[in-house]
Amino acid sequence: MKRLALALLVVAAATACNREVGLTPTPISFADHPGILRGAWSGTTASDQTLRLELSATYDTAETYTVAGTGLLDGDSLTVTGSVIGGAVHRYLQAQTTPVPETASLILKRSGAADLPLNCFAIGDDTSPAAWTWQCFLPDYRHPFTLTKDTP
């Protein structure tokens, strides 16, 4: 747990160092931007487990939106809840546009087993929306994996 806290502090510090005073975020379409954790997402964890998620996203505040859904981790059913944080640079707008997300903190709830925290960091930019992914960490944060949007 101490390692996870240290890793999150390092990421927060590194992100804060790159902030520009007066930076105005670029609005994006909340309804269809590929970086919004909505719809089908999948990845293979460092321990070769297949993770599949089906998520919905709901506006929460100017800084966050909530995520809920279901999924499978190597065939085990999951209930997923959590939130996505825009950070100091990004602000979510309740209308059709929102700035790009930065971090997601989800809980994977498994029947008969301990809940798993899933922490993710957005990777991508608006110049290449098809390449949008999330770098994710299960409790053993030293082994990240990539979560990608599934194509219909």
Whichever domain contains 123, its CATH number is 2.40.128.120
Token pair of 10 as six digits: 């390092």
Residue 68 β-bridge partners: 56, 81
Is 50 within the bounds of a domain? yes
What is the domain count for the chain?
Answer: 1
Residues 63-98: b if buried by 16+ CB within 10 A, e if exposed: ebbebebebebeeeebebebbbbbbebbebeeeeeb
pLDDT in tens, the chain (152 residues): 444 333 333 344 444 444 445 556 556 666 677 778 899 999 999 889 999 999 999 987 766 789 999 999 999 999 999 998 765 544 454 443 455 567 889 999 999 999 999 998 888 655 555 567 889 998 876 789 999 888 76
CA of 59: how far to CAs of 65, 87, 94, 137, in Å? 5, 15, 6, 24
Answer yes or no: is 7 within a domain. Answer: no
Q: Considering the domain boundaries, does residue 8 fall inside one?
A: no
21 located within any domain: no
Residue 20 lies in a domain: no
23: in domain: no
Q: Are 133 and 41 in contact (CB under 8 A)?
A: no
- Structural domain including 37 reads 28-149
Tokens representing residue 23 in the block? 């930076």
In a domain, 65, yes or no: yes
Q: What is the pTM of this model?
A: 0.70
